[in-house]
Amino acid sequence: MQRRARILLFGGVAIFLSGICLFLFFYHPVKFLEVDFLNVGQGDAELIKTPYGQNILIDGGPDNKVLAELGRNLPWLEKKIDLIILTHPHDDHVSGLIDVLKKYQVGRILMADAPSNAPPYEEFLRMDYEKKVPVVLVAGRQTITLGADLRLEILHPEKDDIGAGLNEDSIVARLIYKKKVFLFVGDAGVKTEAELLGEKIDLQADILKVGHHGSETASTLDFLRIVAPKLAIIEVGVNNQFSFPGEDTLWRLQKVGAKILRTDLNGTIKVKSDGEKIW
C-alpha cells in the first residue's frame, strides 16, 4: 500500500508539474498601457507608462506639484523618464519640468522650436543644458515606434507653422495602442484644429486631452465630430482665474457624446488599456 501511495503521489506531482509547464508555455500576460492625467492644478501634465517599460511625460504643470504626482504614480524608487514632450513653453506647461530635470534621469526631450524668453522656459533650457539631455526639435510629422503594437504620431507643428502663437505652436500627438487611440493637443486652438481638419489626416481618438484646459478658444464642434472621443479629459485648476472650462466647450463635448472628466473635480485620472478595451 505504501509503495502504491508513493507511486500515486509521484504521479500526481508529475501531472501537476506538467500542467504548470503547459500553462507557462501558453500563458501570455496581458500588457497594459496606462496614461495618467496628473492633477497639477491650473496646468497640463500627462504621464504615459507603456507596456514596454517606457515612461513618457507630456508637460509638467505650473510648479513642483508634478513631483508629488510622479511619486504617487510611478513605482517606488523609479527615477527614469525616457522622454519628455514639451508641447509649448507657456509657464503652466514648462515650469514643473525644471524640477523633473533636477530629480529624474531624463533620456530625451521633444519640443517645438517655439520662440519665448519667459523666465521659466529659459530656466528649463539652462537646466537641460546642465543635465546634457538630448533635445529633438519637431519640424514636421513623425512617428515614434514604442513597440510592435504601440506608436506615437506627431501631427503638429510643421516647420512653417512655428510663430503662429505659442498655443497654436503646441505639439499635437496621437498615441495608438492596437485598437485604442489617445489624442493630446496641448493648448492648440481653433486655427490648429482647422489646419488639421484641412489636411484630412486621421484624428479619431477614443480619449481626448481637451485643448487649452477647456477654454472657448479650442474644441470646435467640427473638430470634435471628427475626433469623436468617448472620453474627454480636461486638466484644469480648482476655481481658476480663467473660469475654465467654458460652458460652451462643455456643451460641445456633450453634443458629440463624450463623457467628461476633470482634474479639478476628479483629481488625477488614470486610464488603462489592453489595446482592446479601456478602463
Core vs surface per residue 59-96: b (16+ CB within 10 A) or e: bbbbbbbbbebbeebbeeeeeebbbbbbbbbbbbbbbb
pLDDT in tens, 187-198: 999 999 999 999
Cα–Cα dist 111/94, whole Å: 11
Q: 31-273: CATH homologous superfamily?
A: Ribonuclease Z/Hydroxyacylglutathione hydrolase-like (3.60.15.10)
Tens of pLDDT, residues 128-141? 999 999 999 998 89
DSSP letter string, the chain: -HHHHHHHHHHHHHHHHHHHHHHHHH--PPP-EEEEE---SSS--EEEE-TTS-EEEE---SSTHHHHHHHHHS-TT--EESEEEE----HHHHHHHHHHHHHSEE--EEEE------HHHHHHHHHHHHHT--EEEE-S-EEEEEETTEEEEEEE--GGGTTS-TTTT--EEEEEETTEEEEE-TT--HHHHHHHHHTT-----SEEE-GGGG-TTS--HHHHHHH--SEEEE---TT-TT-PSPHHHHHHHHHTT-EEEEHHHH-SEEEEE-SS-B-
Query: Is omega for the bond preceding 119 within 30 degrees of 0, making it cis?
Result: no
Do 16 and 8 form a contact (C-beta atoms < 8 A)? Answer: no
Which residues does 19 contact at the CB level (< 8 Å), separation at least 6?
Answer: none
Percent of the residues in the chain that have a pLDDT greater than 70, as a whole number:
89
Please tell me the least confidently modeled range out of 22-36, 59-73, 151-165.
22-36
**Cell, residue 238:** 480648482
Instruction: Note the pLDDT of residue 8.
Output: 43
Q: Which band of pLDDT confidence, cut at 50, 70 and 90, is reported for residue 207?
A: very high
Residues contacting 70, CB < 8 A, separation 6+: 38, 47, 57, 100, 104
pLDDT > 90 fraction of the chain, expressed in percent and rounded: 84
Residue 1 has pLDDT above 60, yes or no: no
Report the pLDDT value the prediction gives residue 161, as an integer from 0 to 100: 74
**pLDDT, tens only, 89-112:** 999 999 999 999 999 999 999 999
Please answer whether residues 163 and 88 qualify as being in contact, where contact means their C-beta atoms are separated by less than 8 angstroms: no
Q: Residue 19 has which C-alpha cell?
A: 500542467
43: pLDDT strictly greater than 60: yes
Instruction: Find how far residue 236's CA is from the centre of its chain.
Output: 16
**pLDDT tier at 237, thresholds 50, 70, 90:** very high
The band of 17, judged by pLDDT with boundaries at 50, 70 and 90, is very low
pLDDT of residue 151: 98
Confidence of residue 23 (pLDDT cuts 50, 70, 90): very low
What would the grid cell of residue 256 be? Answer: 458629440
pLDDT digits (tens, 9 = 90+) for 140-166: 899 999 999 999 999 999 877 777 789
What are the boundaries of each domain within the chain?
1-28, 31-273
pLDDT for the residue 4: 54
Residues 152, 137: Cα–Cα separation, whole Å: 15
Q: Which range (9-23, 60-74, 174-188) has the least confidence? A: 9-23
Mean pLDDT of the chain: 91
| Greater model confidence, 24 or 209 | 209
pLDDT of residue 29: 56
State yes or no: pLDDT of 215 exceeds 80: yes
pLDDT band with cut points at 50, 70 and 90 for residue 6? low
